[in-house]
Structure 1
Amino acid sequence: MRPFRFRWLLPQLLFLATAASCSAARLLPAGITLPPGFSIAVYAGKVPGARSMALGAGGTLFVGTRDAGKVYAVVDRNGDHVADEVITIASGLQMPNGVAFRNGSLYVAEVSRVLRYDNIEARLKNPPRPVTVNASFPDKTHHGWKFIRFGPDGKLYVPVGAPCNVCEEKDPRFATIMRMDPDGSHLEIFARGVRNTVGFDWHPRTGELWFTDNGRDWMGDDLPPDELNRAPRAGLHFGFPFWHGRDIPDPTYGKKRPRSDFVPPEMELGPHVAALGMRFYTGTMFPGGYRNQIFIAEHGSWNRSVRIGYRITLVRLKGDRAVSYETFAEGWLRDGTVRGRPVDLQVMPDGSMLVSDDKAGAIYRISYRK
């Protein structure tokens, strides 16, 4: 009976495996174009609202969401670069977009507080009650979702977006990047004049902070640009709400202060592309020309008459300064139809790069082979 049963089950198993493979393939829009030698595949499906990503010490990929209110753990147990399981480790949170990992603990940023889940990789299916690290952030939800990361100084960096399209808020915490110790103490403002950053990273050689910033709306289709900025030290002001891009005064606030008061962007990006996650590429899989260069996930415009973004772009550096801006991967927008919205990037230990997509509820893996 056993051989007969096996013969009967084998076609069913093959059918199920094929169906699962086809289901995953449908998450990846056809026609994503990349430079020669690069390929893209689905790393994980069934990750609704996938936004910011952080990698645990044991290889677990943690994924935050904005509107879903959940945090996921994505597990690839057999190392075949396809997730075996997606586990919901937290739910009912307020815009838990930001996730960061340090010393065995997962940090999760809601709108007004940062939580910590200790020893999380050993308890994915039985998560501990979170510890509140700091609950003193503003509760405004407009640009209230946060991207968080630990810097080379050991501090947790937490942005506070402007609670408006464009305004001059009395509360000095708005339109800033803040930082604090891992226990939530010594919270301070690191950078000002930052309208809404949802992605930043530190240069692998200089240790300087670089970050994307979304430009204001309702100045037309082509103004202002999104920005890629560099903060070599604390205390700098990057222009919002007074000036945008390199030299565009705000119609309401531009006359209040001269452009020379502020740090101009390292690179002007596309107007309204919604530049979010960014990473310096520190892996070794991609060709050498990509090493220590900046990849940016462009979520895509929401109110431009002709849509733009919905792609991965590359900013090349020379002498630690930005010199060019080009498309690396595109196809999530085709013939005016939005088929996906890239959010964040994660360089993996093998040198591949993951891309989260909150529209498709998926995570893709970009790899290179000669």
Structure 2
Amino acid sequence: MRPFLGVLLGMLALPAMAASPQLDKLTLPKGFHIAVYSDAVPNAREIALGAKGTVFVGSNDAGKVYALTDSNGSGKADKVRVIATGLQLPVGVAFRNGDLYVSAVSKIVVLRDIENHLDDPPKPEVVYDKFPTETHHGWKFIAFGPDGKLYVPIGAPCNICDKGKDYAKLTRMNADGSGLEDVAYGIRNTVGFTWRPGNNELWFTDNGRDMMGDDIPNDELNRLTRVGEHFGYPYCHQGDTLDPEFGKGKNCKDYTAPVLKLGPHVAALGLRFYEGSQFPANYKGALFIAQHGSWNRTRKSGYRVMSVRFNGDKVASYDTFIDGFQQDEKSWGRPVDVQPLPDGSLLISDDLAGAVYRVTYSP
């Protein structure tokens, strides 16, 4: 195995050494507060909410999936259960009709009626097992769309390569695993997508390629307007930059440009629209984005949570919401996903500190 590839695969597949949450180092807008919801979720990744208030968290910690419960309404999980073990990088979780769907690289499995069996979880049942087996961009954020279908990405199995329409795309299937179809192409590695309330448009982050320098390309915020749309990878990056190898003879105008450039190498991951009423009114309809942070940049970028506000379909602002997960080029935390709760607070997962945080607002 080539040295760089070995290092990269290790970075992708191996659990990070957990750091302790250092919330005193974080900065938030005036009136916002952040607290630990649970610090017992090693390598916490995607968050999904159950119908009875359970917070499900995928991870890349020994193949475990977690269930967090706040039984007394304190705003902090008082019980953390492991509800599945031995799965391959089960970072993605999605809840539907009482069942929890979990991604496991080449498979999607389901835990049936899980909220009624948190103390005696059922054996994972395979829903689909024909996704590629590569682990390079092989772990999967998953989510059910307004159409009732499960959306599953297939990342590029490389930093930069052209595998046609077999990789670098977003797919969807029925809840029983049937009817798999392609939705969009030219997506290097999306680890976050969601649907905008009101019009059900799909929005997603995409991580740009490496080894083109510190400042190119940007990660992307994209919006899907039609099935079959192509977002450029590996030919065009950030909507306006041809790839030095695969861009020859191509034109960026032939691909869908991002709605917003999110910054170079920030590793933009989970994102959700905010529809709650606890935060100030100007956050209604805003999009929160977790930025996991760079790993190969001269100076670190990302390591924060951003907010995007809109004027219709146009971006009105792109601001830092939470900062301070790294100082002086040393990081203690790496945000992965964001998930609003029914009470209007916001959960944030952190795979480096092995924690989930809860953000509240009180003037």
The corresponding residue for 1:131 is: 125
Q: When the two structures are aligned, how many residues end up with a matched partner? A: 345
Say if 1:57 and 1:104, in contact at 8 Å, map to a contact too: yes
Identity among equivalent positions (%) equals 57
Letter in 2 for 1:113: K
Q: Distance between the aligned counterparts of 1:168 and 1:272, measured in 2?
A: 21
Among candidates 275, 281, 285, match of residue 274 of structure 2: 281
Q: Offset of 1:69 from its aligned partner?
A: 1.3
Q: Distance between the aligned counterparts of 2:228 and 2:136, measured in 1?
A: 24
SS class of match (2:135):
coil
The corresponding residue for 1:226 is: 219
Correspondence 1:242 to 2:235:
yes
Q: Distance between the aligned counterparts of 1:165 and 1:32, measured in 2?
A: 32
Say if 1:66 and 1:145, in contact at 8 Å, map to a contact too: no
Say if 1:315 and 1:323, in contact at 8 Å, map to a contact too: yes
The TM-score normalised by the length of structure 1 is 0.91
Q: Distance between the aligned counterparts of 2:315 and 2:107, measured in 1?
A: 34
Q: Offset of 1:167 from its aligned partner?
A: 0.3
The corresponding residue for 1:19 is: none
Among candidates 93, 101, 112, match of residue 99 of structure 1: 93
Q: Offset of 1:126 from its aligned partner?
A: 0.8
The TM-score normalised by the length of structure 2 is 0.93
Correspondence 1:116 to 2:110:
yes
Letter in 2 for 1:79: G
Among candidates 309, 317, 327, match of residue 302 of structure 2: 309
Say if 1:60 and 1:74, in contact at 8 Å, map to a contact too: yes
Q: Distance between the aligned counterparts of 1:296 and 1:39, measured in 2?
A: 18
The corresponding residue for 1:254 is: 247
Q: Distance between the aligned counterparts of 1:216 and 1:322, measured in 2?
A: 24
Alignment of 1:64-213 (within 5 A): 64-170=58-164, 172-213=165-206
For structure 2, list consecutive stretches of 5 or more residues without a partner in the other structure: 1-19
1:46-101 Cα offsets, whole Å, 9 max, x none, are 11010001000010000001243110001110011011011001111100010000
Q: Offset of 1:125 from its aligned partner?
A: 1.5
Q: Offset of 1:335 from its aligned partner?
A: 1.7
Say if 1:212 and 1:228, in contact at 8 Å, map to a contact too: yes
Q: Offset of 1:223 from its aligned partner?
A: 0.4
SS class of match (2:115):
helix
Say if 1:159 and 1:197, in contact at 8 Å, map to a contact too: yes
SS class of match (1:27):
coil
Q: Distance between the aligned counterparts of 1:182 and 1:309, measured in 2?
A: 34
The corresponding residue for 1:12 is: none
**Aligned structure 1 segments of 4 or more residues deviating by more than 4 angstroms:** none
1:138-194 Cα offsets, whole Å, 9 max, x none, are 111100010000001111000010000000014x23100100111111100101000
SS class of match (2:23):
coil
Q: Offset of 1:316 from its aligned partner?
A: 1.5
SS class of match (1:82):
coil
Say if 2:21 and 2:332, in contact at 8 Å, map to a contact too: no
Q: Distance between the aligned counterparts of 1:78 and 1:217, measured in 2?
A: 46
The corresponding residue for 1:4 is: none
The corresponding residue for 2:49 is: 55
The corresponding residue for 1:320 is: 313
Say if 2:58 and 2:65, in contact at 8 Å, map to a contact too: yes
Q: Distance between the aligned counterparts of 2:101 and 2:229, measured in 1?
A: 26
Letter in 2 for 1:283: G
Q: Distance between the aligned counterparts of 2:348 and 2:319, measured in 1?
A: 17
Q: Distance between the aligned counterparts of 2:315 and 2:160, measured in 1?
A: 27
Correspondence 1:332 to 2:325:
yes
1:243-269 Cα offsets, whole Å, 9 max, x none, are 000211100011232212200000001
Letter in 2 for 1:182: A
Q: Which has the larger radius of gyration?
A: 1
